[in-house]
């Protein structure tokens, strides 16, 4: 069974002290740092890019889980690899050559991830499943933190879990994840949980730890 991973999204952190926030969630027990890169084109918001990620690399040793919401992605993959991302995830909708993007990520020596918007069917990744280390299921329309979890993605998580089968692929969910929505995702087969607003509230390491542990417990207690 795949390990449970909790991945705080720093999109919800205090951008004026990003290094400190990364250290705080690391100390609070985060497994991965989730990095939401937005271009104002593929999604209607702009966040941060490879230079910010590179600056954060020295602040923690846990893996950087990079979620690229950019189109095109291919010209920038090398920059994100150099910035210290461990997993680089591209959207299936972000370009016509998903297979090539995933090949390029692995050629850079990084773990390759693919993600699907809520409206995108599972069939979009059927033929690239052997090229990925992670599948990210979007449970909100990407672009903003703090949105409501879309329940209709739960059966999609189950379908992707079936597609993954015994392969060593993490199944991650992103958007509106809280201790209340994590159980249905875990039951459907998700093992990795991104959360922004549910983790970065309270402003202290102790608060972050409690927030992380609440999601971890909700997920662990509801494994299939």
Residue numbers at the binding site for ligand DX5 (CB under 6 A): 9, 11-12, 34, 36, 67, 140, 142-143, 145-147, 174-177, 194-198
Task: Indicate whether 5 belongs to the interface with Zn ion (CB under 5 A).
Answer: no
Are the C-beta atoms of residues 30 and 63 closer than 8 Å to each other? no
The footprint of Zn ion on this chain (CB under 5 A) covers a number of residues equal to 3
User: SS3 for 89-128, per residue?
Assistant: EEECCCCCCHHHHHHHHHHCCCEEEEEECCCCCHHHHHHH
Dihedral sign (CA 19, 72, 147, 155):
negative
Are the C-beta atoms of residues 136 and 93 closer than 8 Å to each other? no
- Concerning whether 51 is annotated as a catalytic residue, the answer is no
Report the C-alpha gap between 63 and 32 in whole angstroms: 5
CB of 166 to ligand DX5, least distance (A): 28
The binder of 195, among ligand DX5, Zn ion, none, by C-beta within 5 to 8 A per type, is: ligand DX5
Q: Two tokens at 106?
A: 């692995």
Upper half-sphere CA count for residue 191 (Cβ side, 13 Å)? 15
Judged by CB, which is closer to Zn ion: 103, or 141? 141
CB of 181 to ligand DX5, least distance (A): 10
Judged by CB, which is closer to ligand DX5: 12, or 102? 12
Judged by CB, which is closer to ligand DX5: 156, or 166? 156
Task: Indicate whether 39 belongs to the interface with Zn ion (CB under 5 A).
Answer: no
Residue 167 CB neighbour total at 10 angstroms: 11
Residue from 6, 73, 2 nearest 41 by CA: 73
| Among 36, 39, 161, 172, interactor with Zn ion by CB under 5 A | 36
- Concerning whether 36 is annotated as a catalytic residue, the answer is yes
The binder of 140, among ligand DX5, Zn ion, none, by C-beta within 5 to 8 A per type, is: ligand DX5
Judged by CB, which is closer to Zn ion: 24, or 195? 195
The site map against Zn ion for 155-194 (x = CB under 5 A) is: -------------------x--------------------
Report the C-alpha gap between 71 and 75 in whole angstroms: 9
The binder of 173, among Zn ion, ligand DX5, none, by C-beta within 5 to 8 A per type, is: none
Are the C-beta atoms of residues 165 and 189 closer than 8 Å to each other? no
Largest CA distance in the chain: 44
Q: Which of 161, 170, 174, 206 is catalytic?
A: 174
Report the C-alpha gap between 148 and 177 in whole angstroms: 9
Catalytic residues: 36, 174
Which residues lie near Zn ion (CB under 5 A)? 36, 67, 174
């Amino acid at each position: 069974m795949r390990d449970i991973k909790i991945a705080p999204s720093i999109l919800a952190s205090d951008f004026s002290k990003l290094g400190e926030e990364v250290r705080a969630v690391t100390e609070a027990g985060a497994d991965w740092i989730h990095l939401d890169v937005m271009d104002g084109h593929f999604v209607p918001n702009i966040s941060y890019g490879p230079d910010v990620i590179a600056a954060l690399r020295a602040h923690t040793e846990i893996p950087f889980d990079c979620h690229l919401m950019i189109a095109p992605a291919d010209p920038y993959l090398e920059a994100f690899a150099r910035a210290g991302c461990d997993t680089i995830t591209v959207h299936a909708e972000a370009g016509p050559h998903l297979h090539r993007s995933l090949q390029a990520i692995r050629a850079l020596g990084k773990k390759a991830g693919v993600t699907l918007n809520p409206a995108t069917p599972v069939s979009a990744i059927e033929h690239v499943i052997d090229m990925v280390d992670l599948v990210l299921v979007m449970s909100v329309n990407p672009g903003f933190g703090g949105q409501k979890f879309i329940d209709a993605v739960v059966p999609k998580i189950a379908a992707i879990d079936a597609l993954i089968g015994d392969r060593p692929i993490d199944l991650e969910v992103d958007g509106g994840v809280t201790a209340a929505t994590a159980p249905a995702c875990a039951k459907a087969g998700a093992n990795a949980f991104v959360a922004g607003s549910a983790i970065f509230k309270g402003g202290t390491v102790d608060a972050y730890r409690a927030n992380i542990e609440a999601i971890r417990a909700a997920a662990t207690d509801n494994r299939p």
